[in-house]
Amino acid sequence: MLNTLSLQEISALLESRECRSRDVVQAVLESIGKKDGRLHGYLTVNAEDALVQAKVADEARAAGHKGQLLGVPIAIKDVLNVKGQPCTCGSKILTGYTSPYDATAIARLRAEGAVFLGRTNMDEFAMGSSTENSAYGITRNPWNPDCVPGGSSGGSAAVVAADEAIAALGSDTGGSVRQPASFCGCVGLKPTYGRISRYGLTAYASSLDQIGPMTKTVADAALLLQVMAGGDPADSSSLDMPVPDYRASLRKDLKGMTLGLPREYFVGGLHVDVERRVQEAIEVCRGLGARIVEVSLPRSREAIATYYIIAPAEASANLSRFDGVRYGFRAAGAEDPIDLYKKTRAQGFGPEVKRRIILGTYVLSSGYYDAFYLSAQKVRTLIRRDFEEAFKTCDAILSPVAPTPAYRIGENTADPLQMYLGDIFTVPVNLAGICGLSVPCGFTADKLPVGLQVVGPALGEEAILRVGHAYEQATQWHRQRPGSLS
């Protein structure tokens, strides 16, 4: 079935004229029709428009046009602006909003001929780790519908794993690409901060957010990164630096590479099957020629506390724009502008978003700024220096993506702290502004996926893609498909 193939396999078939874009889109739409009623990975599917885009792509190819993604259908997390499409961010407060422009990442995909299939579900404003915080219902894990898919990019991970998309885009503020990729058994890449323009990505925490691809193979992630990366005048935080040929860095061995194991990450609290699968993956990497060394990231234990000061503080400022005045939801019955703000935000935001706005406003308030926000920024610098020191002795770092596999729906909703602690291995990467990759590395006894995290220094995507690809080629985990929704 065409919908089960990787992005590069589909691209090759289209290039050789062995199939049409319309055939691929139709196969994916049929898969969505069979599975997504229960999975709920999509918020909207633009079936008619996707078929029109496919027809245009087929005509362009027949006329001799080329594009690395020409005619390939891709799903988009509902936090990225695509011209003419809604962008709800999983929130009621953006009800009725239609984007008047393309995000830069979207524009670059469009220039390569990508077909935009639909909008995937997410935790409201990317605030969550389970996709249970969406205003439009939960997404289920395709390996076990009683479990969460992870978050906040849970919809994107689920549709890729369930073959309801060839690839998808997510966003990663504290692990929101890598953790759902781990939970759903697909590949998730969080690039270096600034490597992909954030213009058109609805902001959660501006100094942490990064767009990332979610794919079936590491080579597919490398291709999407290749297309989206590069400086952008519309985003002053983007890196105006040459973009290497990421696919050229992919190798089948790791000879000459040194990989670090952070001693602070392999401690008590890891799920037994997660630890076993990650340790087995480390041995595979050793067998591929890598030298394995121990490194130390001593400030990692402060990462969660640091993140949950900085991210809510930035969210408090970023989400102040949603006031019911200019666009989106507007509460009825307001007596004056202040009353309008209060009612709109009270009715439009969900409980997790409110929790983080309140926390962020508190840590930024007079008398608490220095004690909390300023102190957190100092610790963030120390966390970044820990990574810089570690990378003096290794090319990349290996660790679990998450301490547990996917948990049951509702299991952690009553305990936000327990939910936050699930990001303990991913949050430090965002705080340091470096890159990380999640690659499938096996299953638990309950047949739930486990992900191996490969972390690299700033602009170290070539190294982590090489490690991920070599490991992937030496194993078959990425070829496994969930059967629970068949």
Residues acting as catalytic residues: 77, 152, 176
179: part of which helix (H) or strand (E)? Answer: helix 178-184
Q: For residues 225 and 169, what is the distance between their CA atoms, to the nearest angstrom?
A: 10
151: part of which helix (H) or strand (E)? Answer: none
Q: Where are the alpha helices (DSSP H) in 229-327?
A: 272-287, 303-318
Q: For residues 195 and 105, what is the distance between their CA atoms, to the nearest angstrom?
A: 11
SS3 call for 412: coil
Q: Where are the alpha helices (DSSP H) in 63-177?
A: 104-111, 154-161
Helix pair angle (21-39, 47-62), 10° resolution: 160
Establish how many alpha carbons lie within 13 A of residue 294's alpha carbon, considering only the half-sphere containing its beta carbon: 6
DSSP 424-475: TTTHHHHHHT-EEEEEEEEE-TTS-EEEEEEEE-TT-HHHHHHHHHHHHHH-
Establish how many alpha carbons lie within 13 A of residue 108's alpha carbon, considering only the half-sphere containing its beta carbon: 20
Tokens of 32: 């969505």
- Report CA torsion sign: 170, 176, 178, 181: negative
Residue 60's CB: how many other CB atoms inside 10 A? Answer: 16
Helix pair angle (375-390, 303-318), 10° resolution: 120
Closest CA to 356 of 36, 129, 121: 129
Closest CA to 369 of 316, 298, 321: 316
